[in-house]
Amino acid sequence: MELERRETALDRGFTSLYDYCVKNLGYSEGAAFLRIRAARAAAEFPDVLERLRSGKLHLDAIARLYPHLTADNSTRLLARVDGASKTEVLALVATLKTEPPPERDVIAPVAPIRAVVNDATDSSPNAGPDVIPPPQHRFHFTGDGQLLSLVTRLRGLLRHKYPGGLLADIFRDAASALLEKIERDRLPNSKPMNRRQAGSVPKGQRLGSRIVPKRVKREVWARDDGRCAFIALDGRRCESRDALEYDHIIPWADGGRSDTPANIRLLCRAHNQRLGRKRFGPRPQDR
């Protein structure tokens, strides 16, 4: 609870408390999830902590019950799960669900099937070394009708290249094309603007503007290697390559410039917001 309140994980170069628990404290993913959810429940409903201490409530129970707790029902529901088994807790939670939870995207590894390469000189079916195929993953998500229409069109247009129409081939090509476009826009060796474009200054990018010009973004992206540039006091650099944002080292509100790479860096959203809170205080809606 205290680590989350102080945002210690962010200050130590981790993207979240979950990341800190798994990579620094050595918890498994499941153990970290249970403890973080229990800590949040205890911060909101102090009675939870005493019930955990006394053994009346176990971590799995509070993790499943927490999404349904409110100021009005917490005392009653917590009393009902005192000493309850996991099966009893699941039965109670089932009665509380008013709508199915949103379906989550899942990327799960698929167990490889070992193949045996037989030696030509040995007639034994088990001769030869095991060959392990490249790792495979199963993707599962739900899309709308627009996505279905786009995938169907891609399938038809790529039939000459992929006669089988496998979704894995189609999504690989689509992801590669999108990634190439994004990197081309962000890297400094991308195609330069034509003369008409170079001679004009886009609205909002004049000297003194808060908006970071594209040429600066490209140089910063290459310099920071497309990764969060936050470095903790012990020298640990954040590993995140997700939700990256361009941050003013000297804030624009304090006179920092947007038109020089020396004052711009890449930060993940978590560290960008953390540094903003430390410098300017919490946003009005967070106070």
What is 113-138 written as a DSSP string?
Answer: PPEE---TT---TT-S-EEPPPPEEE
β-bridge pairing 136-140 and 115-116:
unpaired
CA atoms within 13 Å, Cβ hemisphere of 165: 8
Amino acid at 214: K
List, for residues 235-257, the tens digit of each pLDDT value: 999 999 988 999 999 998 888 99
* 176 is a domain residue: no
Contact 62, 38 (CB under 8 A): yes
Confidence at residue 193, expressed as pLDDT on a 0 to 100 scale: 43
List, for residues 49-61, the tens digit of each pLDDT value: 999 999 989 999 9
pTM above 0.75, yes or no: no
Distances (CA, A) of 145 to 142, 152, 171, 239: 10, 10, 17, 36
Residue after which a domain boundary falls, among 61, 78, 96: 96
**Distance between CA atoms of 15 and 205, rounded to whole angstroms?**
31
| Residue of 104 and 41 predicted with greater confidence | 41
* 245 is a domain residue: yes
**Distance between CA atoms of 211 and 245, rounded to whole angstroms?**
12
Q: Once rounded to an integer, what is the mean pLDDT over residues 53-77? A: 91
**Distance between CA atoms of 79 and 279, rounded to whole angstroms?**
43
Spatial CB neighbours of 96, under 8 Å, sequence gap ≥ 6:
68, 77
pLDDT at 202 over 60: no
* 185 is a domain residue: no
Provide the strand spans (E) within the chain. 106-110, 115-116, 130-131, 136-140, 244-248, 264-268
Confidence at residue 281, expressed as pLDDT on a 0 to 100 scale: 84
* 42 is a domain residue: yes
* 259 is a domain residue: yes
* 18 is a domain residue: yes
List, for residues 129-138, the tens digit of each pLDDT value: 666 778 889 9
**Distance between CA atoms of 269 and 275, rounded to whole angstroms?**
10
* CATH code assigned at 262: 1.10.30
Q: Which residue has the tokens 């628990």?
A: 21
Spatial CB neighbours of 276, under 8 Å, sequence gap ≥ 6:
none
* 38 is a domain residue: yes
Burial classification of residue 202, based on how many CB atoms lie within 10 Å of its CB (0-12 exposed, 13-18 middle, 19 or more buried) = exposed
pLDDT band for position 113 (cuts 50, 70, 90): low
Mean pLDDT of the chain: 84
Sign, CA torsion 240/243/246/252: negative
* 139 is a domain residue: no
